[in-house]
Amino acid sequence: MRGAAVATAVDRAYRAIRGGIVSGVYPPGAHLTAQELASTVGLSRTPVREAMRRLHAEGLISFIAHRGAFVAQLDERDIFKIYDLRVVLEAYAAETAAHEASDAQIAELDAMASEMSEVVDRRAGQFAERVAQLNNTFHKLIVSAADNPRLESALASIVEAPLVLRTFRRYGMEELRRSMHQHMELVLALRARDGAWARSVMSSHILAGRNALLRSLSAADD
């Protein structure tokens, strides 16, 4: 393969494997082999191995000596570390976005927050999956609105952890509604250009997600 073709193949393998991890096709702890993944994706093992290295760098795959590659598993200590970082970085992003976000970005966030609330109220089909998708986009837009590429880079691997992405599957209805209200309040803080308010709401929002995740893991162990 030429350079451009190799890069395209690696990107294709990366998206396919990452999508399988995020969706739960490859659950936490699942053993991954380059040969099986290459067969599934329809590529050679070379781009698949490179894609696996990228996913390892993002914390989605763990390499264990003499055993191979596995989808990363998060224990309680890992979750505290991840969410401690999220509170610091995303609260800072929200505070900065209150000053840097354009009116168009705030309007887009408002529309997403409203759509998430409507999806939760309807509770039709796989509504939690749709809320999770919108929530992920919502948080990424806030970080983007902060206009700090280094911040985006720092957060990229943290918020992509499989359990973090699937947190909404673990929420009860009361928790979902509270989360939706926090989204709406965050938009109000951004419209008011009140950085301290935005920081406070984002901190509470993330900590609520952490506690829901920890509770669900504890229940699963019982």
* DSSP E strands, 112-184: none
* In contact, 208 and 199? CB cutoff 8 Å: no
- Give the per-residue pLDDT at 133: 82
Domain boundaries, the chain: 3-71, 76-221
pLDDT at 103 over 90: yes
Per DSSP bridges, beta strands 68-71 and 31-32 are antiparallel
Query: Is domain 76-221 annotated with CATH 1.20.120.530?
Result: yes
Task: State the amino acid at position 207 in one-letter form.
Answer: L
* In contact, 188 and 198? CB cutoff 8 Å: no
Q: What span, in angstroms and rounded, lies between the C-alpha atoms of 6 and 31?
A: 25
Q: What is the mean pLDDT of residues 209-220?
A: 76
* Summary mean pLDDT of the chain: 87
Q: What is the mean pLDDT of residues 163-168?
A: 58
pTM: 0.76
User: Could you read off the pLDDT of 10-26 as tens digits, one per residue?
Assistant: 999 998 998 888 777 88
| Percentage of the chain modeled with pLDDT above 70 | 89
Confidence category of residue 157, pLDDT binned at 50, 70, 90: low
Topology, domain 3-71: Arc Repressor Mutant, subunit A (1.10.10)
Task: Give the orientation angle of helix 103-122 with respect to helix 127-145, to 10 degrees.
Answer: 170
| Percentage of the chain modeled with pLDDT above 90 | 54
